Structure 1
Amino acid sequence: MPIYQVQSFLRECLDSILEQSFRDIEVIAVNDCSPDRCGEIVDEYAEADSRVRALHLPENVGLGLARNAGMEIARGDYLFFLDSDDTLTPGSLQLIADRLSDTTDPDVLIFDYARTFWWGGVTRNSLASVFQSKGPEVFTAKQRPDFLTLLMVVWNKVYRREFIEQRGFEFPPGYYEDTPWTFPVLMAAERIAALDHVVVHYRQRRQGNILRTVSRKHFDIFDQYERVFAFIDSDPSLAEWRPQLFTKMVDHFIAILAKSNRVPDELRAEFFALAHRHYRRYMPAGFVRPEGQAGVRYALIARNAYPVYQTLKVANQGRRKVRKTVRATRKKVVSKRLDRHYENALKQPVNQNLAVYSSYWGRGYVCNPAALHAKAKEIAPHVKGVVVAKAEEVHKLPPGTNYVIPGTEKYWEVMARAKYFFNNVNFEDRFVKRPGTVHVQTQHGTPLKRMGVDLLPFPVAAKGTNFRKLLERSDRWDYCISSNRFSADIWEQAFPCSFAALESGYPRNDVFYTSTAADVRRLRAEIGIPQGKIAVLYAPTHRDYTTSYVPQLDVAALADALGDDYVVLMRGHHFYEQKPELRKLQSSARVIDVTAHTASEELQLAADVLLADYSSMIFDYANLDRPIVIYANDWEAYKVSRGVYFDLLEEPPGHVARTQEELHDIFVGGAWKDEQSTSLRDTFRRKFCEYDDGKASERVIRQILLGEPAENLPVVPLDERTPAPSPAAAEAESVKEPAVGRSRAA
């Protein structure tokens, strides 16, 4: 397995191998100097399973040479080259072993594959009928040449290692390395067998596929075919393959030219000229071009008529574009005046010192974007920050904050001109990402519940989401912030786009390490928490399986059970801010409705204990190292309707109650703050509070706005961090302060 930048797919790939019923295997995991956490994952698996051998290359060499490095230390009877973002189907290795035995150890065994897509679709190889064609069970390529029409890949076959070593086959460097391996190996094999079964699930990545990267490296295709024809020319008996391979080659050139994400525009004429040279050089005698449009393309390459070839392509694209424009015009519902204003603004140069900060579709000064805006004002004041805020949110902004109201002319002017964008959700579909601009997706929590395309199997939660549109919006991201490795992997998986992970910690959580005892006391006073009371912050999350607010907990009954020493801070999800059911709770002296409070971080600082269900707040609050209690009365329903990434009941941050009675017992009996609670929280913090150290905002702003390397501000180890004092500690400190003051006065 050659491995490079596949950290979000690698575990699935390795598990699909190691969980096979056939176990007589060795897995050589070749870390091709991957810059992400692939090396750590490989070592983890090698330590846990003796069948895995980790090979770390000192520099990046590419797929072909990485495979060669693995072959050098291979000990198995057969070689199987699997790409590390693909997977094996269950039971497939046993089927391969059985087929090898039935056909008496052939040189090569060919099997089938299916393409898997981000939306969950699975499509078997379109040429699968080859496996049902008539012919001997053990054959040569000449006896069943139809097998050479299959996709030119290395991973749909296993190879007898002794045969490969005797013939001296190895992979060349560069792109399209499968081509000069596949054809020579099949033409040289004296005994080939086939298995009519889908063995490999070939992942169709939306982004990140090396062959979909615009680069001059696509010119490697010419060297690769030169190697194939050199092999044919080395043996006169192989001359009969020339027509078929020539057609393969020209079709391959045409396929590359047809893609806009392969050869750079300024190099396409040069690529075409080299295609012409190879056409003339390798064209077999008596060759007859195919009919139709394919034949026209062959003729244009033969004549080196690139301008005509390009005109043909543009004409076809033009027809498609007209049809697309007509459809878009029919659907257009936005104001033409705003359209014209926005289009005119897009013609103006990008303002290199303008940044936009937006949270929850304009809900004002909250979450990660607000923390980043504040830090940018402090350490990058040359970059003007503009906050997106709805009209009703403007009065909540800090004094002097520059803002724009969504949908206004000023808003679209700023959106057209800004260089930097920070958002914890996504901007509108009609928003255009201009070249050179930088988009940072800050996210708004560590995901317990399924996100992005991982919601596809959960229609109740997806509720008609247009996933293609969602990913088109997410394609704008240049960076995606995470507070731990767990969520960094999930963002890559749930949003298969081309952004870079920004493992900085969540900026909004900085206050958990920078706030003082005075801050905690002030916040408690502002919220109205009586001095000496234990404040329980209850923060339930949204339920996708209900159409309206359905209370999961009798908050008034809880407050009564807790007694006069406690007060419950009721924080409803922002979807339910105006619900009358929540406003009724204000009638109780033991319950304070804080649903409309702008900053959840302030509520967390003021609370002695967090009572939550499946809200992402549990990951944030854990930074404070204060008790957490989980109320999971509907865990099964939530898990089935929404989908989750791990079992919270197996890895909780504190005690778990499944009924209201159990919840009362946990609080009344004092278990909420016992040693077991502390131990569970410590394990939880080490996994999910990995990067939150009070410096996340500075880390992001220095890297994005100031261009400084991320390593300039390393993450403080968890055991060396000091979170804000608890309310009890803050009140104790306030008792000492007057005494100190009197001593000084005396």
Structure 2
Amino acid sequence: MPRFSIIVPVFKVQGFLRACLDSVLGQSFADLEVIAVDDCSPDGSGAILDEYAARDPRVKAVHLPENVGLGRARNAGLPHATGDYVLFLDSDDRYTPGLLRAVADRLDATGDPDILVFDHVRTHWWGRGGRSDAAGLLEQAGTRTFTIREHPEYLRLFLVAWNKAYRRDFFLRHGFQYRPGLYEDAPVTYQAMVTAERIACLDRVGVEYRQRRQGAITRTPGRRHFDIFEQYEGLFAFLAGRPGLDWARPLLFERALDHMLFTLARPERVLRGDRKAFYRRIRAFYRKRAPRGFVPPQEARRGEIRLLAVAPFRVHLAVGVLRRASGAAGRRAQQVREAVARRIKRCWYRVQSMRPLDPCLAVYSAGHSRAVNGDPRAIHARAAELAPHIRGVWVVQPDAVGLLPPGTDHVTTGSWRYYRVMARAKYWINNCNWAGDLVKRPGTVHVHTHQGTPLKYMALDLLDRPGARHGTDVRGMLRRSDRWDVSLVANRHSEEIWQRAYPCHFTSLRSGSPRNDVLVRGDAARAARVRDRLGIGPFETVVLYAPTPRDYRKGRHVWRVDLEALTASLGAGHRLLVRLHPSLARHHERALLLRDLHRRGTLTDVTDEPHVEDLMLASDALITDYSALMFDYAHLDRPIVVHADDWAAYLAARGAYFDITAEPPGHVTRTDEELATVFTSGAWRDAESARLRKVFRERFCEYDDGRAAERVVRQVLLGEAPDPAAGGDRAALTIPSAADRSARQPEYS
């Protein structure tokens, strides 16, 4: 007897069916059977099922003589199920990798509960969506089991058949059956949830719920949506035969009304001409099924539910119009208030700009004012030692205040104090451009640190790359860059590129990169602390994987490496750390995949680690594609592998200043198999890898000697001359004057 029986009803899905079945049969947990029910599908779905059944003994194809609909097709599959647990999967959806292994492990850990609920993600036809609204509830449950009577909030979990594993004997003993018509999931879901004596949750995305562009029943308006009333009548008929469930009536009544009102408000479901009749049916249901003493919940839907008892449809419409108008008026009033506040603050900024500059005030910002890291952080820390009389204030976005180190003096963007310190500060230090509404005063010194050595095209060089510069105002970028006085460079390559890509009037300071001082000097104690904090054993080999975004894949992240396969190829004694670029970290795929793999112990997700230098110190090798992180990592003189599976596409879309596959810092791979072989063969740290790295370091680690932050503080903040003993070709720093700046003619048009 298998552990799982997966019932898949099939109707007119031949374009999606193979992906669905492959997602089940390709699971790492193989103790399963698939009962695929052909609901008399008129397309080639039935033949596809027979093909899979002939190829895999775990698949059983059941062909129905007539079309009976989704719910009864599920019922038809139940008698063929022999597994401990029954799961339902719609044939245009699919399981995520590793789901059934995770489900099996959680069932074992919770002692085979009646129901296990897991999460899903909506996959729209234009790209992937986010996790469900119930993700927090699933996480909150942990590994405990509960009943709905104890925790009624779990009735708000998505009421569908395919996000649950039902213990088969529990499901059959209570005689749960899906009814014909739409909304067939609701009665069975609620019946099972209130009946179950033990419910468990798994905080893991298990199903990719496909939102089809056409053909989705829930987005096809018509009278079929009136089926919802029969479905809920069936639910309350079920309750009538079970006096022991009287406690659940108010809960389920409220959920039924919420579902009905939600459906009424959707024009893609209920046609305009049917809305009055639909509302009357909701009122009839209310009068018939309202439990004695029912009180609507303290929620947004409360007013609508109260109206059902007393108000006709025209009142419901009028209240809806008033609510929308009130909301629009409130939003408009808020917009007016915000606009007035901005105007007043700009006047305040102009007044502050008339006051003298504060020669002992420096403002710092990093990562678009969302972090305290990178070169600005390193300069700030060194300034506290060498120039303690210069007070450093960090500029951060309001939603990033909680990420600041304790005791950090800061201002939030747009605040009164923000405009005051920006108007008065002698020094502006940033690795991104400051906001365009800030005016750099004569005498202010703007130090731009950049974010690493450039491989991909930047700024002016993007003009002939429309895909890469989509959404980027190059002219505006250069206007903001006109404010730079000092541009920090780590090598001649960077110096040449910055002067070409940003044709502005600044002085290049051959300082090296302050953030890399710790890498050049090395810090074994710091590395050990980081490894200990991340739970890495002293003898584990740590591989850091840091990919970069793709300009030709706007709006969606595609994993370039099979992370599970890579971890398996590394073998025992190795730990894979995955660090995403900030722009990738915002994509839902990060939460959907990395979070799951991290929790299973397959890898360690370090995207949220505040300082990437810690991760580089703690690792033994780097895998990247085209990330500037490789130039920083080279200071450690540790192996680097460049995974360039799409180099031609990347080069065509973004452009690059040199061919990283021809001049790499280590071995180059182009497939998952090649990447695995580099590590299993030991080539990742062979003599050729060391030779390539040596050439790369000589070119790109030219000005870094572990004293970059000190050099910036001494020459910019303290006005000292360069130290001849530091070596290298380092000219004295000359900061352009206001006269130089006003006389300059634009170098772009």
Give the alignment's TM-score, normalised by structure 1: 0.51
How many residue pairs are counted as aligned between the two chains? 388
Amino acid at match of 2:711: R
SS of structure 2 residue aligned to 1:460: coil
> In 1, distance between residues paired with 2:547 and 2:727?
31
Determine the structure 2 residue equivalent to 1:531: 538
Partner of 2:598: 586
- State how 1:378-393 maps to structure 2 within 5 Å: 378-393=385-400
Q: Give the secondary-structure state (helix, strand or coil) at the position aligned to 1:381.
A: coil
Whole-Å Cα distance in 2 between the matches of residues 429 and 715 of structure 1? 38
Q: Report the CA distance shift for 1:464/1:577 in structure 2 as closer, same or farther (over 3 A).
A: closer
Aligned with 1:564 (options 563, 569, 572): 572
Greater shift in the superposed pair: 487-496 or 388-397: 388-397
Q: What is residue 551 of structure 1 aligned with on the other side?
A: 559
* Paired residues of 2:570 and 2:679 also in contact (CA < 8 A): yes
Could you give the per-residue CA deviations for residues 200-238 of structure 1, whole angstroms, max 9, x where no partner exists? xxxxxxxxxxxxxxxxxxxxxxxxxxxxxxxxxxxxxxx
Report whether the alignment pairs 1:356 with 2:363.
Answer: yes
2:584 is matched with 576
Among residues 607, 620, 628, which one is paired with 1:608 in the alignment?
620
CA contact (8 A) 1:356 1:415 kept: yes
Question: Where does residue 416 of structure 2 map in the other structure?
Answer: 409
Q: State the AA in 2 paired with 1:449.
A: K
Supply the AA of the counterpart residue of 1:656: V
Alpha-carbon offset, residue 526 of structure 1:
1.3
Of 512, 520, 524, which aligns to 1:505?
A: 512
Output the CA distance in 1 between the equivalents of 2:560 and 2:340.
40
How far 1:395 sits from its partner (Å)? Answer: 3.8
Query: 3-state DSSP class of the match of 1:639?
Result: helix
2:550 and 2:413 mapped to 1: Cα distance? 28
In the TM superposition, residue 713 of structure 1 has moved relative to its aligned partner by: 5.6
Instruction: Say which SS state the counterpart of residue 647 (structure 1) adopts.
Output: coil
Q: Secondary structure at the match of 1:543?
A: coil
Change in Cα spacing, 1:479 to 1:632, as seen in structure 2 (3 Å) is same
Does 1:400 find its partner at 2:407?
Answer: yes
Does the 8 A contact of 2:523 with 2:617 survive in 1? Answer: no
Residues 682-740 of structure 1 deviation map (CA, whole Å, 9 limit, x = unaligned): 000000001111100000110001101124462479xxxxxxxxxxxxxxxxxxxxxxx
Counterpart in 1 of 2:634? Answer: 622
What secondary structure sits across from 1:651 in the alignment? coil
Distance 1:668 1:394 in 2: 44
Structure 1 residue 334, shift from structure 2 partner: 7.6
For the structure 1 residues 657 and 588, does the alpha-carbon distance in structure 2 shift closer, same or farther, using more than 3 Å as the test?
Answer: farther
For residues 530 and 363 of structure 1, the distance between their equivalents in structure 2, rounded to whole angstroms, comes to: 32
- Of 714, 717, 736, the match for 1:702: 714
Does structure 2 conserve the Cα–Cα contact (< 8 Å) formed by 1:358 and 1:369? yes
Name the residue aligned to 1:231. none
Q: Conserved in 2, the CA contact under 8 Å of 1:484 and 1:690?
A: yes
Pick one of 580, 594, 611 that aligns with 1:599: 611
Tell me if the contact between 1:536 and 1:607 (Cα under 8 Å) persists in the aligned partners.
yes
Q: Name which of 417, 426, 433 aligns with 1:426.
A: 433
Mapped partners of 2:727, 2:700: distance in 1: 14
Q: In structure 2, what is the Cα distance between the partners aligned to 1:378 and 1:434?
A: 27
Query: What residue number does 2:472 align with?
Result: 465
- Name the CA distance, whole Å, in 2 between partners of 1:419 and 1:484: 27
Distance 1:452 1:711 in 2: 33
Q: Which whole-Å CA distance do the structure 2 matches of 1:604 and 1:424 have between them?
A: 20
**Kept in 2: contact 1:609–1:626 (CA 8 A):** yes
Show the 5 A alignment for 1:281-430. Answer: 335-430=342-437
1:435 counterpart residue number? 442
What is the Cα deviation at residue 333 of structure 1?
A: 9.1
RMSD: 1.9
Counterpart CA distance in 1 for 2:409 and 2:513 is 23
Residue 474 (structure 1) aligned with residue 489 (structure 2):
no
Per-residue deviation at 1:515? 3.8
Q: What is the identity, as a one-letter code, of the residue corresponding to 1:570? A: V
Distance 1:601 1:713, change over 3 A: farther
User: Do the aligned partners of residues 333 and 461 (structure 1) sit closer, same or farther apart at CA in structure 2, a change above 3 Å counting?
Assistant: farther
- Which amino acid in 1 is paired with 2:631? F
Number of the residue aligned with 1:496: 503
Residues 441-450 or 519-528, more deviating? 519-528
The amino acid across from 1:651 in the alignment is E
Q: Whole-Å Cα distance in 1 between the matches of residues 598 and 340 of structure 2?
A: 42
- Provide the C-alpha distance between the structure 1 equivalents of 2:630 and 2:344, rounded to a whole number of angstroms: 45
- The answer to whether the 8 A contact 2:361-2:425 is kept is yes
In the TM superposition, residue 549 of structure 1 has moved relative to its aligned partner by 1.2
Secondary structure at the aligned position of 1:387 is classed as: strand
Tell me how far 1:336 sits from its aligned partner: 1.1
Q: Distance in 1 between matches of 2:596 and 2:727?
A: 44
SS in 2 for 1:356: strand
Q: Distance in 1 between matches of 2:429 and 2:341?
A: 24
User: In the aligned structure 2, how far is the partner of 1:582 from the partner of 1:659?
Assistant: 20
Which whole-Å CA distance do the structure 1 matches of 2:632 and 2:359 have between them? 33
Per-residue deviation, 1:344: 1.4
How do 1:83-102 and structure 2 match up within 5 A?
none
Query: Helix, strand or coil for the counterpart of 2:627?
Result: coil
**Partner amino acid, structure 1, of 2:695:** T
1:163-242 to 2 correspondences below 5 Å: none
* Larger CA deviation: 535-544 vs 578-587: 578-587
1:150-165 correspondence runs (5 A): none
Shift of 1:392: 3.9
Look up the equivalent residue of 2:433 and give its one-letter code. Answer: N
**What is residue 453 of structure 1 aligned with on the other side?**
460
State the partner residue of 2:521.
514
Query: Who is 1:691 aligned against?
Result: 703
Equivalent residue of 2:369, what SS? coil
In the TM superposition, residue 389 of structure 1 has moved relative to its aligned partner by 2.1
Determine helix, strand or coil for the equivalent of 2:468: helix
Q: How far apart are 1:426 and its partner, in Å?
A: 0.2
Which whole-Å CA distance do the structure 2 matches of 1:396 and 1:433 have between them? 28
- Cα distance between partner residues in 1 of 2:407 and 2:599: 37
Q: Deviations over 1:661-692 (max 9, x none)?
A: 00000000000000000000000000000111
- 1:347 deviates by 1.4
> Is the CA contact 1:484–1:687 (under 8 Å) kept in the aligned structure 2?
yes
- In the alignment, the residues of structure 1 paired with residue 473 and residue 427 of structure 2 have an alpha-carbon distance, to the nearest angstrom, of 26
Aligned-partner Cα distance in 2 for 1:395–1:709: 39
Give the fraction of aligned pairs with identical amino acids, expressed as a percent. 48
Paired letter, 1:550: V
- Alpha-carbon separation, structure 2, partners of 1:440 and 1:677: 36
Q: Matches of 1:355 and 1:380 in 2, distance apart?
A: 11
Q: What is the CA-CA distance between 1:660 and the residue it aligns to? A: 0.6
**Closer, same or farther in 2 for the Cα pair 1:539/1:715, shift >3 Å?**
farther
Write the distance in 2 (CA, Å) between the matches of 1:421 and 1:516: 29
Judge conservation of contact 1:693–1:716 (CA < 8 Å) in 2: no
Taking structure 2 as the reference length, the TM-score comes to: 0.51
Q: Give the match for residue 672 of structure 1.
A: 684
Q: Distance in 2 between matches of 1:597 and 1:584?
A: 18
- Looking at structure 1, the residues matched to 568 and 399 of structure 2 have their Cα atoms a distance apart, in angstroms, of 36
Post-superposition Cα deviations, 1:527-560, rounded to whole Å, max 9, x if no partner, equal 2222311110000001111121111111111001
Q: Could you report, residue by residue, the CA deviation over 1:239-271 in whole angstroms, capped at 9, with x for unpaired residues?
A: xxxxxxxxxxxxxxxxxxxxxxxxxxxxxxxxx
| CA–CA separation in structure 2 for the residues paired with 1:713 and 1:700 | 16
The aligned amino acid for 1:518 is A
CA contact (8 A) 1:699 1:713 kept: no
Separation in structure 2 between the aligned mates of residue 387 and residue 366 of structure 1, nearest angstrom: 11
Match of residue 681, structure 1, among 675, 693, 714: 693
Tell me if structure 2 keeps the 8 A contact 1:564–1:590: no
Q: By how many angstroms is 1:342 displaced? A: 1.1
